[in-house]
Structure formats: structure tokens, C-alpha cells
Structure 1
């Protein structure tokens, strides 16, 4: 069964939902953002949590009201709903006008909308209920929103971590033809990107790897187990704290920044490495080499790598081949 519903969202809410859909790689065949597919997944994976949280909020407000006053339970329930609708779900707090959006649902998402229509609306419309649900979702930190959208993958990974089982999956970056088999150790959030990463050991090459969980597909918990290596666990725990999105070799690096480089270093916060010490215009780092390379590629002549030679050569080649292409 397929059904279409018209819902109304503020431009801000719609824009933020599109941002999540784009970050979590919900795309159509032409690579444009597939907001409809994203919203269907959000509804299916978040409905139970949203309903539970909403009921718990009303219950807590009712309890506080009855504890502090002689109000009846019936009046407390009415007042609690009034408080929630006035101060928590107040549309006037959002700037801008609403825009119409056609939501096409089928399968599980259609079933949930039918449940909402038949049981949850009371004095509100379906459009308003979904709008409140989406705003509640957006109030959650992005790393937790990722866990909601990729609920099935998280549950499988969590089970594999608990039972020390080998995981199999493909990724959106390597395509569906290449399957990875890994020994999972840690799930860790990246503060800058607010996404979660699986730190693991690649069974094929016996090296540490990291994968953004929203890019994993066809996650499967195998029946094979593996023994936890305490040295590897300690190493990956340290990387999880510092830079979970990169498990490349950690190096001692020295980078010379001019005055514009210093300004950029203060302004560009995404994946910014932590400075070990500063001596004049020299910045010292003890950080994964790949992350240093990706970060300082954005600085141009305002940041010159002095050491290690491998990092210096990687960035030099990056600019050399870029210049060669632009010079054609």
C-alpha cells in the first residue's frame, strides 16, 4: 500500500532535515538528495522512541503538578499538555514561513502513519504531529541521530562488539562489490563531524581501519568469533579519543605557519589536530599523518610542513599535480 500525505514544515526544519539526509547519503539515482526516503526511515526508526519520550515528558510534568498542588489528575493532564504545546512545541519560536512537502509512504512507514492517525492525534493534525516529531529528532545531537537512522546497523555492530564476532559489510565509498570482514573493537563519535566511527581490524590485511557507520551497508554478524588483543584494544581506544575518523600512523610533525596560517588554524575547526607545543611560528603535532595531510591541504602557502619528510612529500605532490592540471 502506497499513500501520499501533505505535511507542512518550517524552512529551517526542512533545511536541517535535508542536511542530515545529505550527510547520511540518502540519494536518488541522479545523486540528488532523497529526502522522502530519509523521512520514511526516520519515521520507522524514531516513532517508538518519540512516543515513549513524549509520554514520559507528560507523565513527569503531571507528577510534578500533582506533587506541588491539590490539582486533580485530570486537570494535571490537561495542564501538562498545555505546557508542552505552549512552551516546548511552540511553532512561533521558529522563524520563517512553512512550506508544503509531499511525503510518499509505503510498507512500515505507511503502517506507522496509520497508527498515528488512528491513535495519536487527539486535537492535532497528522502534519503537526510529524512536524513535532521531526523537531524533536533535530533537538538530539547528530551522533545520536545517526544511531536512530541506522538503527539496524547499530544493533548488529553492538551485538558483534559484545559477543566478539566478526562483522561483514560493504560501504558506500567502496561500492557493493567489495565486502569487508573485520574484528570490531570500538564505536566512537567524532566531535567535529558529530558522526560515529567503527574502529576495527581488517581481517584481510591485519591492519587497523575506521569506517563511518552511516556509510556501512549490508551489515552482517557472522558466527565466527575472535580473541580480544589487549594491545590493539589500547591502541584503538587512544585513537578513538583523539581522532576516530583516522587510524593512520601517528607521526611527530612540525608545521610552519605564517600570520594567515595562524588565522586559518584558529578558524578551521573541523578535524583540527591538537597542538603539542608552539615555538614562534612553528607548530608541533603528535597526530595521525593522514589527518594532518587532509587538514593542512586547505592552507596553501600559509602552512609549510617541515617534518616528517613523508607528510611534506604528500602535500607537495598534491599541489604539484593540481598546478599541472590547471596549467594545461
Structure 2
């Protein structure tokens, strides 16, 4: 346990909400599986982002010096001026403790963050504070897109998986929601969806029921207990084709067949399709039909099911395949029964 006292960090309201939302989205919870473990999340952020943040600030500082040295010949003055401009102009403002809508974050140092905190304390200027340094770091973190922020929080696992994908080396891991099951996979690529949100490991895994290799996807934040496997396998041509399709249609939705799906939309269903963006599948072609449109898909059946079940009754109808049509019928029938018996 660290001997450094707890650090209070004051951040703008929006930054505080973004950090809390990220901790929820990335499922950084306490043992109860529901409450956000804020200190662990902030610790992961600091460990995963510190070196990159220092490098980013140094790059900005060097660029300032290159521009200013044309006009400031004195080296000492140049250094002082570049640092002042970087801190007071380039880097974001830090809210005061009694400023407008500041949120207080309490950071309890851990064994993982203690050495970083000591480095920061020894490097900052006399008129600066470690709490202000962390505030600027957190603001910089929040300015990045969500998939980059996720890679920062889980940097260790992300870098491990990148190397495994490049080496085409089989790995084993568990997931945070079922750590008793060991997955043995051949990693293919880490990518993110069309909404640029979460990262997914695309891989090949054996289906224990059929004995065949299939395409799978696992969210980066849920992967834990990573290790290399001694098994030697290669990705089959069929699985490779499906993994490439998943990159196009949505990496979170496994594809393991080449069966076409046809969905009939009413005129209102077409309006809903245009409005409901998140998770929307890409169609291969569209045809006009009486009172609506026919949309044809080659994407995952799970994506079709999860997307169109959100439509109002009668707005969308799965015409084929029959198995997917039956799945949607059972879903709505079960929902209807629950309301009848409620």
C-alpha cells in the first residue's frame, strides 16, 4: 500500500461525467458487479496514459521552441517562454477549487500509480500542483474518441493482443463475467465498430458442440487472464472470409454462414430504419414492393435480430431465413405473454 496521501483532483463537470460514464461503459466495477470502482478506473487511466501524455506534451513543447527560437535568441528566456505558453495557452485551463461547477475526484495512490505520482511531483514547477497535472491529463484523455480511451484503460491487454495478432500466435483468456471458462483462440485483429465505440478481438475458436472452427468476437474490456497457448493452428479460409465480413458489417456480431436475410419494411419501417442508427445493419440491395421496401442482408443474423426487434409492431417483418423468422416470432410471443400475465 502506498504511503502517499489521497489526492483531491478538481475537474470540470463534463470531464467528471465522461470519466464516470467510461468507467461504466468499460465495466470497471466493484465486487458487486454494479457499483463503479472509480479509484481503480483512475489508476488504470494513469498507468495506461502517463507515458503517452508526457510524450504528447513534449512534442507540443518542442514545436513551440522550434517556432519561438527564430524570435527569442536567449536560450534561458526561450525555455521559460515556451513552458509558459504551453501551460497557459496550449494546455487546458484547470478549474479552481471554488470555481464554477468543479467535480472533486479522490485518487487514492496504489502500488501501480505511486511511482508515477512521485515522478510527477519531482517534475512539476513550484507554482503547479500534482492535482492540476492530473486534471490536465484527464481532460486530454477525454478529448480522444471512445475506442482510443478504451485502449488506454486496458493498454496492457491491448498491446498483448496486438502482438499476438501480428505473430499469429494462439492465446488463452477468460472473461470478467465468467472467469472459470478458458477460451483458446487464434487472434486475427483488434478493430472497432462503425460507431467508433468499443474495441473487439476478432478470432477463430473451436465450437465445442460441432468441433468446427468458427469466427468469434470478444470485447477488449472483458478479456482477462491472458496467456499464450502452445497449440499450433492456422485460420481456415472459411473463418477468414467471415472475419473480414465482420470488419465490414460490425465486429461485435459473429458471422458463421453465408445465408442471405430478407426483411420487409413498411413505409413507416423505412422511416424507422433511417432514424435508428446505432447497430443498423448494412444492406446489400433494396427493392420496392407494395406498401414498402425489401432489404437484403449478408450480415450476422444476431445483428438483424437485435436491430429489428426494436421496431414498432408491423414496421418490419423478417421473410427469410425461416430460423431467424421463428426466433423473432418467439421473442415477440414471449413479450406478449409476459404482459398478459403481468
TM-score when scaled to structure 1?
Answer: 0.91
Kindly report which structure 2 residues correspond to 1:135-214, keeping only aligned pairs within 5 A, or say none.
Answer: 135-173=139-177, 175-192=178-195, 194-203=197-206, 204=208, 205=211, 206-214=213-221
**Does 2:113 correspond to 1:109?**
yes
What number of residue pairs does the alignment pair up? 326
Q: CA deviation at 1:71?
A: 4.0
Equivalent in the alignment of 1:254: 262
- Deviations along 1:61-102, one digit per CA (max 9) or x if unpaired, are 2112224x3543333333333333344333389x95112222
Following TM superposition, by how much is the alpha carbon of 1:278 offset from its aligned partner in structure 2, in angstroms? 2.8
Tell me what 2:339 maps to: 326
CA contact (8 A) 2:190 2:199 kept: yes
Aligned partners of 1:92, 1:126: CA distance in 2, in Å? 12
What is the rounded CA distance, in whole Å, between the counterparts of 2:252 and 2:31 in structure 1?
27
Cα distance 1:70–1:101, how it changes in 2: closer, same or farther (>3 A)?
closer
Partner of 2:26: 24
Tell me, yes or no, if the aligned pair for 1:210 and 1:247 is still in contact at 8 Å.
yes
Q: Unpaired runs of 5+ in structure 2?
A: none
Cα 1:227–1:287 shift into 2, 3 Å: closer
Q: How far, CA to CA, are the matches of 2:24 and 2:307 in structure 1?
A: 22
Q: Please provide the CA RMSD for this pair.
A: 2.3
Structure 1 residues 225 and 64 mapped into 2: Cα distance closer, same or farther (>3 Å)?
farther
Q: Could you report, residue by residue, the CA deviation over 1:33-77 in whole angstroms, capped at 9, with x for unpaired residues?
A: 11111001111121111111111111112112224x354333333
Q: Distance in 2 between matches of 1:43 and 1:210?
A: 28
Instruction: Determine which structure has the larger helix proportion and give its number.
Output: 1
Hey, what's the Cα distance between the residues in 1 that align with 2:94 and 2:48? 28
2:117 aligned with 1:129? no
Give the drift of 1:230.
Answer: 4.6
Change (3 A) 1:227 1:279: closer
The match for 2:10 is 8
1:45 and 2:59 correspond: no
Match of 1:54 in 2: 57
Residues 159-213 of structure 1 deviation map (CA, whole Å, 9 limit, x = unaligned): 222222211011124x111110011112111122511111111134421111111
1:237 alignment counterpart: 244
Distance 1:92 1:164, change over 3 A: closer
- Separation (CA, whole Å) in 2 of partners of 1:28 and 1:179: 22
Structure richer in strand, relative to its length: 1
Whether 1:293 and 2:305 are equivalent positions in the alignment is yes
Q: 2:36 aligns with which of 33, 37, 45?
A: 33
Pair 1:234–1:258, CA change in 2 (3 A): closer
State the distance in 2 between where 1:298 and 1:193 align.
21
Partners of 1:77 and 1:251 in 2: CA distance? 65
> Conserved in 1, the CA contact under 8 Å of 2:170 and 2:231?
yes
Structure 2 distance, partners of 1:317, 1:212, is 28
Contact 1:6 1:101 in 2 (8 A): yes
Counterpart contact for 1:189–1:196, Cα < 8 Å: yes
After TM superposition, the score normalised by the length of structure 2 is: 0.88
**Does the 8 A contact of 2:92 with 2:136 survive in 1?**
no
Tell me the residue number matched to 2:322.
309
Structure 2: how far apart are the matches of 1:49 and 1:119? 16
CA distance in 2, matches of 1:92, 1:259: 51
In the superposition, relative to structure 1, how do residues 231 and 315 fare at CA in structure 2: closer, same or farther (>3 Å)?
A: closer
